[in-house]
Amino acid sequence: MSEANITKSIEWREDHVRIIDQTYLPLRTVYCDIRDVGQMWDAIKKLKVRGAPAIGIAAAYGFYLGIKDLELDSFPSFIIEANRIGEYLASSRPTAVNLKWAIDRILNSINALKEKPIDEIKAEVLALAKIIHDEDKRICKAIGLNGQDIIPKKANILTHCNTGSLATGMYGTALSVIYHAHLAGKKIHVWVDETRPLLQGSRLTAWELQNAEIPMNLIVDSAAGHLMKSGKVDLVIAGTDRVAANGDTANKIGTYSLAVIAKENNIPFYIAAPLSSIDMSLNSGDEIPIEERDGKEITQIGTTKIAPPKIETFNPAFDVTPAKYITAFVTEKGIIKGDYSKELKKLFN
């Protein structure tokens, strides 16, 4: 396999953005060319592009598409329009932190350039969008390469949810470690948890690995324990939504269970975490709020209803894995082990 087999969820192509329309996955691979900010708003809103870093990158390119044809010569008129575009893009997914972050970063840059000609500002915005994209790729690549220290030459790896190219600028986080193990010629095989309720494992991770021709088997989440007990898993690696200062880690529902079973079977359990997901303002996992989502995610798949009408559900989207179950964190600054309260702090010094 070469890098060419690794999915690119988003690409700048001369004068427009090409994304994989993720709403068609995994049954069809449909690319979507985005040429104006309205199309990008729609793509983010309708989850054609998803995953926190990928959304930030999409918004940055979308911002440039929004300003590039503005025929305004004065900065005061230009910045009014630019602010409007920022607000518009931010409204596509109001709770997405990376979306807001990318838009603010671009607006700050524009304000810093206010003495420059408008055309130059426009060019700088495109340059910044590319930088935001490249930074994310670089971070993901560094995680993937740093992760090689924990991947043996031959390994059965179990992973959960989607932490891949589809969610980031490229490579992903936990999946980047897997991609780079494969690129390095290691003999790896991946057990992919389907990841109920939204099936990011079967819909996205399985699709990415299949594209990259990495040997894998899709399993139901409940089968992971049986595999670990049977000696068929050498390590578990997952991503994270948020890590607290003590190492407690929030991630997709089911991650905690995997960590407990891994520990019981003496299997190393790793979290791939970019520094941007480590939140030093939280002392422990107890401070991480757990989002509860619509029960329809449990009672219905596609058009198929799978539970009795009017059934009560409980649908937490995440769980928190206490630090003690985590063998190490893989970050863009290296592998973090030991006393996480100390070691994570060092990353930010």
Binding site for its own copies (CB under 8 A): 25-27, 191, 194-197, 199, 202-203, 206-207, 210, 215-227, 229, 253-254, 256-257, 260-261, 264, 290, 295, 298-299, 301-316, 319-320
Q: Residue 52 or 259: which CB sits closer to its own copies?
A: 259
Task: Report which DSSP code applies to 95.
Answer: T
Whether cis (ω within 30° of 0) applies to the bond prior to 26 is yes
Comparing CB distances to its own copies, the nearer of 241 and 319 is 319
The whole-angstrom separation of Cα 236 and Cα 327 is: 10
Least distance in Å: CB of 232 to its own copies?
Answer: 9
DSSP tag of 206: H
- 107-133 burial, b at 16+ Cβ within 10 Å, e below that, comes to beebeebeeeebeebbebbbebbeebb
220: tokens are: 């139901």
- What is the nearest approach in angstroms of its own copies to the Cβ of residue 228? 9
Shorter beta-carbon distance to its own copies: residue 6 or 261? 261
Q: In this structure, are residues 113 and 124 in contact, taking their beta carbons and an 8 Å threshold?
A: yes
Cα–Cα distance, 267 to 220 (Å, whole number): 19
Q: Of 193, 241, 248, 319, which residue is the catalytic one? A: 241
Residue type, 256: Y
Beta carbon of residue 164, minimum distance to its own copies (angstroms, whole number): 13
C-alpha distance from residue 117 to each of 61, 71, 113, 146, 151 (Å):
20, 12, 9, 42, 51
Question: Which one, 123 or 260, has the nearer CB to its own copies?
Answer: 260
> ω into residue 152 within 30 of 0, thus cis?
no
Measured from the CB atom, the residue of 172 and 254 that comes closer to its own copies is: 254
Residue 319 bears catalytic tag: no
d(CA 201, CA 25): 12
DSSP state of 323: G
Give the span between the Cα atoms of 311 and 298, in whole angstroms: 10
Shortest Å, Cβ 321 to its own copies? 9
Give the position of tokens 């107890």. Answer: 286
CB of 231 to its own copies, least distance (A): 13
CB of 58 to its own copies, least distance (A): 23
Nearer to its own copies, 224 or 235 (CB): 224
Residue for token pair 């209803």: 305
Per-residue burial over 301-310, b if 16 or more Cβ lie within 10 Å, else e, is eeeeeeeeee
- The residues annotated with a catalytic role in the active site are 241
